Every structure is written in C-alpha cells, then in structure tokens.
C-alpha cells in the first residue's frame, strides 16, 4: 500500500509523481525482460541521450496504491546507492491516476547467466576471481546495511562486457536482516542457488543464505556446470545431502527444528571435496567449501571471503574501481 513514506523515497532529487512529461523523456526501444513484477524495457533518455532500463511495475490489483514489494525494493535500492557493484537507480516515476509505477535504472547490457552461457568455457582464473570479488563486494555493501539479497543467481547479476564490472540487481526479494520472512517460491533454476535452510523452510535466516549462492556461482565458473542442479525442491536438497551427507544434530544443531526436514530422509554419506570438485586448486577449494558449509552458522562471512588467499594475487589498484568515489582506499585491505 502507498503511504506518505513513499514520497520520501527519493534518488537525489529525481522522484516524480504523476508526471507524464517525465516519463515521455524516455523512448522505449525494446522489451528486454518480463515477469510477475511487470516489464523491463531498454530505453533512451531523450535529454541526456544515455541508455536506461525502464522497469514498469504492475499495479492492477493494488486498489490502495503501490504494492509493498515495490516499496521495499525502492527503499532498499535507495539505501544502497551509489555503489559500482550494485545497479544504479536513477529515478522513480509514480502516476497514481494511471496506476503506473516506473523505476529507471542505469542500462547494463547483459545478465550474468547469458554471459556465462556464452563464455564460461573461456574464462580465465583471473576473470573468475575478479567477478567473484565484485559479487562479494556488492554483497558486503548490502550486508553492512543489514540487507539480505535472498535471490542471488546469475540471472539477477548484470555485467558490463566492455569493463568487466559486475552489478547486483533485482532486489525484489531482499529484506532487512531480522525482518520475518515469507516462504519463497521455488522456480527450478532458482533452486540451484538456494541455501538448504531456505529449502527446508527455516523462518528466520541469516546473511549466510547469500554466501551460499556465491559459492554456487563460483563453482559454476570454475567447474563449468552448476553445483547442485535439482529439478524439484526435494531433489535439490537430496543433491546437497549427497555431497555433504545427510546432516545430524552434530553437523547442524537445529536441523531437526526446520519444518521440512524429515527424519525419514535417506542417509547419504558425505563425498570428499577433492572427489566432488574437479577443477579447483587447493586455495579455491578451501574458499568454496567454506561458502557452502551446510550449517549456516559455519559459513564464511562475506568480509572474510573477500580477504581469503584466493584473491591475494589481485592488484589493489585494479580493485579500487569496485569501490564508491572517495572510498577507493578501502581496496588497500584486499589483494596485493
């Protein structure tokens, strides 16, 4: 529902309400995405001539105004601006009479899934390290503000092919840490990046759900295939257990309290990481196994992951461009 607070969700001074002329400055060029949320267009700003992504949010069933999901996404994006590894929100245009809401984003040409589909067999280890570091860097910025992304997957990451800059996107499922969380829907490909505590319907979960997803994405780049590729929720959790072994309370103290964990689950034996992962070196294997620890309390934190020896050979000067203006000195604590 639209509240007065909506009018405080400004991005710079670029918050428009009921302004047809403001919308008309954007020339739609082509549809580039569509989902339950609405439609995304590639568009051109007729004033600046720059390309933008114009996200139209569906409001048809919202008699009282803007849906809470859109409010949350706008609020979170506002909180996260600006950062080189998070998609830039330029403007919000709300037209209450027409029941239309548009989010204007910087245009980034490709999502990371498409990029990996085209390039994963040609990636160098240096590229993999830079991409992973940037994903972690964007997440670290989110987590430092107590925001969990919750839906991190290649489809929700953008890449500028000319610069190699990675940007986290699609914060529609993001939450402030500690806020009660509804059960997520489970599309098949989304399942592959979902942490086991989500699959087992834990009601309150932590920042560790995001680091699990990064481990899955890192594995996909190194191994050239998905980590755990189930075709249903139960198949997904069994594939995870086939690697980790079916957990006991010694492995994961509160496992028996999770709503969808069943004592009747098959008793899988763990697979040694050296047998399961074929292409990681010793240092990379250490990082990924810490990212995908079964018990979320045992997973590596994002900040720790950024300082892992896996990234030690990255140049500090190269890393500086991944930090906001005036904060490039933060790169000095990473790499060489």
What is the three-class DSSP state of 320? helix
Annotated binding residue 55: yes
Cβ atoms within 10 Å, residue 119: 13
Task: Confirm whether 151 is a catalytic residue.
Answer: yes
In Å, what is the CA distance from 311 to each residue of 7, 233, 293, 315, 323? 42, 33, 20, 9, 16
Q: How far apart are CA 201 and CA 184, in angstroms?
A: 9
Give all strands (DSSP E) within 161-217, no chain letters.
165-168, 175-176
Active-site residue, selected from the candidate residues 8, 13, 63, 151? 151
Quick one: which of 116, 102, 98, 110 has its CA closest to 16? Answer: 102
β-sheet with 110-111: strand ranges across: 110-111, 157-160, 165-168
d(CA 23, CA 82) in angstroms, rounded, equals: 23
What residues act catalytically?
Answer: 151
Q: Which residues does the annotation place in the binding site for ATP?
A: 55
């Amino acid at each position: 529902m639209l509240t007065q607070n909506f009018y405080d969700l400004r991005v710079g001074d670029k918050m428009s309400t009921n302004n047809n002329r403001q919308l008309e400055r954007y020339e739609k060029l082509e549809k580039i995405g569509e989902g339950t949320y609405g439609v995304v267009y590639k568009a051109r700003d007729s004033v600046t001539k720059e390309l933008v992504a114009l996200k139209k949010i569906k409001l048809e069933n919202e008699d009282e105004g803007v849906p809470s999901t859109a409010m949350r996404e706008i609020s979170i994006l506002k909180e996260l601006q600006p950062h080189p590894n998070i998609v830039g929100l330029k403007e919000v245009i709300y037209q209450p009479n027409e029941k239309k809401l548009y989010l204007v984003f910087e245009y980034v040409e490709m999502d990371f899934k498409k990029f990996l589909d085209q390039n994963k067999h040609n990636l160098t280890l240096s590229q993999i390290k830079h991409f992973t570091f940037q994903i972690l860097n964007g997440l670290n910025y989110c987590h430092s503000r107590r925001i969990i992304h919750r839906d991190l997957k290649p489809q929700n990451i953008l890449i500028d092919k000319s610069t190699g800059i990675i940007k986290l996107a699609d914060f529609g499922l993001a939450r402030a840490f500690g806020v009660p969380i509804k059960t997520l829907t489970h599309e098949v490909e989304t399942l592959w990046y979902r942490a086991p505590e989500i699959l087992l319907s834990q009601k309150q979960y932590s920042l560790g759900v995001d680091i699990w997803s990064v481990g899955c994405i890192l594995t996909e780049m190194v191994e050239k295939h998905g980590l755990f590729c189930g075709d249903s929720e139960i198949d997904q959790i069994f594939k995870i257990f086939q690697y980790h072994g079916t957990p006991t309370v010694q492995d994961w103290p509160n496992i028996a309290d999770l709503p969808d964990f069943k004592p009747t689950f098959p008793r899988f034996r763990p697979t040694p990481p050296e047998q399961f992962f074929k292409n990681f070196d010793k240092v990379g294997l250490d990082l990924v196994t810490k990212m995908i620890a079964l018990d979320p309390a045992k997973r590596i934190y994002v900040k720790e992951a950024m300082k892992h020896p896996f990234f030690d050979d990255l140049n500090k000067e190269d890393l500086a461009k991944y930090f906001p203006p005036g904060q490039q000195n933060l790169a000095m604590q990473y790499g060489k």
